[in-house]
Amino acid sequence: NLSNIVKKIYNLFKDYAQTKKIDIILNIQEDVYIYGNEKYISRAIANLIDNAIKFNKENGYIKIDLLENDNKEIILKIEDSGIGIPQEKIDKIFEKFYRVDESRGIYTGSGLGLSLVKAILTQHDTKIEVLSEENIGTTFIITFQKITNL
């Protein structure tokens, strides 16, 4: 139950978000189901939300949408109002140990979070897309296949 997974992760992160005065807006229409390893899928989503908080701005927001599209796909969208990623660096962010210029040195991290996200989603035949604009924010869009025979 991906809806429950997302709600659980939201509950784990909401206090951390509050300390940076970041609002998390959850938009979950109904319960949606996918096949997958719950622990790993949870880790992947948590890593994305961790980034969305870390690279956000004070009084910023995070919008999490979980919905089903007309193609029987489940779309999880995580949008933040943070610092964004330069276009020419978007292709690299899923590489191990990559961090967009170390000059943004106020942020801590090892650059492993997104490589794990990519590895987990690849194992689940699931694609992830990134849209970003510097100083405006970043959106990660994950497309899961729905379980239809429940």
Residues that bind ligand ATP (CB under 6 A): 47, 51-52, 55, 80, 82-85, 93, 98-100, 109-115, 138
Helix axes 113-123, 38-54, angle to 10 degrees: 150
Per-residue x/- track, 2-41, Mg ion (CB under 5 A): ----------------------------------------
Q: Rule CB under 5 A: is residue 82 a binding residue for Mg ion?
A: no
Considering CB distances under 5 to 8 angstroms, the limit depending on partner class, which of Mg ion, ligand ATP, none binds residue 98? ligand ATP
Scanning 55-112, the segments in alpha helix (DSSP H) are none
Answer yes or no whether residue 138 interacts with Mg ion by CB under 5 A: no
Residue 47 and residue 129: Cα distance in Å, rounded? 15
Nearest distance in Å: CB 51, Mg ion: 4
Q: Which of 75, 79, 59 is nearest to 67 (CA)?
A: 75
By C-beta, is 51 or 132 nearer to Mg ion? 51
Q: Quick one: 42 or 51, whose CB is closer to Mg ion?
A: 51
Residue type, 32: V
Q: Which does 126 bind (CB under 5 to 8 A by kind): ligand ATP, Mg ion, none?
A: none
E-state strands within the chain: 23-28, 61-68, 73-80, 127-133, 137-145
| 113 sits near Mg ion (criterion: CB under 5 A) | yes
Given ligand ATP, Mg ion, none, residue 100, with its beta carbon under 5 to 8 Å by kind, binds ligand ATP
Alpha-carbon distances of 35 from 19, 52, 129, 131, rounded to whole Å? 34, 25, 20, 26
